[in-house]
Amino acid sequence: MRRFTREAAPGAYLRVLAPGEVRAGDPVTVVHRPAHEVSVSFAFRASTTERALLPRVLAAGDGLHPELRREAEEFAAAAALPGGASG
């Protein structure tokens, strides 16, 4: 976990639509890309090492998954407290 945090590399998150085998060279299709800038990596950095990014996460509005939005709001509130979380 420390290495993932240090390198801000949480990994790719995918959804399997149909089970089966995938081989090198098989096509991969992106079926949805949100209109905002918040990627898994961006959100990870905002919640771990770069808390200054939290306002940009929250600016994504309704485009965020509700759980991610809740967590970002909690991190932002904690960071705003005197002596709050550093990042």
Q: pLDDT higher for 2 or 8?
A: 2
Residue 40 · residue 10 · CB < 8 Å: yes
Encode pLDDT of 19-58 as tens digits.
999 899 999 888 888 888 888 888 888 888 888 898 999 9
State the pTM of this model.
0.61
CA dihedral 32, 35, 53, 8 (to 10 degrees): 30
pLDDT digit string, tens, across residues 51-85 = 889 899 999 988 888 888 888 888 888 877 776 65
Q: In the structure, what pLDDT confidence band is assigned to residue 11 with cuts at 50, 70 and 90?
A: low
Percent of the chain with pLDDT over 70: 80
Domain ranges of the chain: 1-7+36-81
Rounded distance, CA 74 to CA 6, Å?
Answer: 22
What distance separates the 2 farthest-apart alpha carbons in the chain?
52
